[in-house]
Amino acid sequence: MSRKLEDRYGRVATDLRVSLTDRCNLRCSYCMPAEGLEWLPDDSVLSDDEVVRLVRIGVEHLGIREVRFTGGEPLVRRGLVDIVRRTHELGVETSLTTNALGLSRTAAALADAGLDRINVSLDTVRPETFHEITRRDRFHDVVAGLEAASAAGLGPIKINAVLLRGINDDQAPELLRWTIERGYELRFIEQMPLDAQHGWSRTGMVTAEEIFEHLEREFVLKPVDEPRGSAPAELFLVDGGPATVGVIASVTRPFCGDCDRVRLTADGQVRNCLFAREESDLRAALRSGASDEDLADRWVVAMRGKRAGHGIDDPSFLQPDRPMSAIGG
């Protein structure tokens, strides 16, 4: 029996984000403290078979058409290549969001397994700034990973960048130039309140308007005419094209009305919004012998509770208890 993951406002989720682990090999200052976090216990994390089963239910019973694997850092998940292969066999588009550490060793295997494309988080092209943000001296490993992904045909390669006030907010033009020269597609993302330290502030965030100001000092930007649909990025031709740059203004220009996403955490919880305060447990039901139909029914119910918007601008907004590393991007 086929049904849809539809909420009370008529939005239908067809894009599934699956977090494979909450662990990460970087310590980005806007995500987690320098000492790291207390990781999920191993027995609470879904097994490879459990991940694939829930993805299959999403695809075969609930209309999921795209699956993106996230973390933490998904490349640290040992079964990643096999999970990608089994998901690809379901006939859906598969992608990966990664920091690219280790991608130089795994890009070819991921491409062979059927991965369609990757998004790489990279906030600077200056090694010293990379070290300051991530607390790791690994910039050159990211470059090697990007080159391996390009050679393996995992394109288009999209770069996700967050500008941080006083750290890299003056580097937007050089980051754009660097990505264009290498054939990557750059997307700037407003910093969101998803850090483990709960240190985010609206006044400290570099806004989309500021990003445009920085870029337009060196480039001519023209909006791309084609409809945006559910894609979060506003796209702009750079100096007449063909290169483009995107800005994802999650905070100042929310796109909740067009959202088509649902999230599954590494420990088997459904999150109907990135900023949801509640989760719906599929793991317990799955491990107690629930049928595919029952798990699909539970997933449908979880989606019905989705709010109209994330409400960051509302004075009553509360940041999720889980940080981004434990939710999955």
H-helix segments, 152-193: 172-182
Is the per-residue pLDDT at 26 higher than 60? yes
Radius of gyration of the chain (CA): 19
List the strands of the sheet with 280-281, edge to edge.
221-223, 234-238, 244-248, 185-189, 158-161, 117-121, 93-98, 66-70, 15-19, 261-264, 269-271, 280-281
pLDDT range class, residue 318, cuts 50, 70, 90? low
As a whole number, mean pLDDT of residues 307-319 equals 62
Is the per-residue pLDDT at 197 higher than 80? no
DSSP state of 76: G
Q: Report the C-alpha gap between 21 and 73 in whole angstroms.
A: 7
| pLDDT per position as a tens digit, 287-310 | 999 999 999 999 999 999 898 876
For strands 269-271 and 280-281, give the pairing: antiparallel
Q: What is the dihedral of CA 118, 105, 86, 53, to 10 degrees?
A: -80
Q: Report the C-alpha gap between 267 and 112 in whole angstroms.
A: 27
Which residue type occupies 191?
Q
User: Which of 323 and 22 is assigned the larger pLDDT?
Assistant: 22
* pLDDT value of position 191: 81
pLDDT range class, residue 177, cuts 50, 70, 90? very high
H, E, C per residue of 219-260: CCEEECCCCCCCCCCEEEEECCCCCEEEEECCCCCCCHHHCC
* pLDDT value of position 269: 94
Is the per-residue pLDDT at 165 higher than 70? yes
Is the per-residue pLDDT at 144 higher than 80? yes
Beta partners for residue 205, in sequence order: 164
* pLDDT value of position 285: 97
Q: Report the C-alpha gap between 264 and 45 in whole angstroms.
A: 11
* pLDDT value of position 232: 75
* pLDDT value of position 160: 95
> Which residues make Cβ contacts (< 8 Å) with residue 280, sequence separation at least 6?
269, 270, 272, 298, 299, 301, 302, 305
Q: Are 306 and 8 spatial neighbours (Cβ–Cβ below 8 Å)?
A: yes
| pLDDT per position as a tens digit, 85-99 | 999 999 999 999 999
As a whole number, mean pLDDT of residues 102-115 equals 97
User: Which of 191 and 207 is assigned the larger pLDDT?
Assistant: 207
pLDDT range class, residue 312, cuts 50, 70, 90? low
pLDDT range class, residue 277, cuts 50, 70, 90? confident
| pLDDT per position as a tens digit, 210-261 | 999 999 999 999 999 876 555 678 899 999 989 999 998 877 777 788 889 9
Q: Are 82 and 31 spatial neighbours (Cβ–Cβ below 8 Å)?
A: no
* pLDDT value of position 162: 93
* pLDDT value of position 59: 98
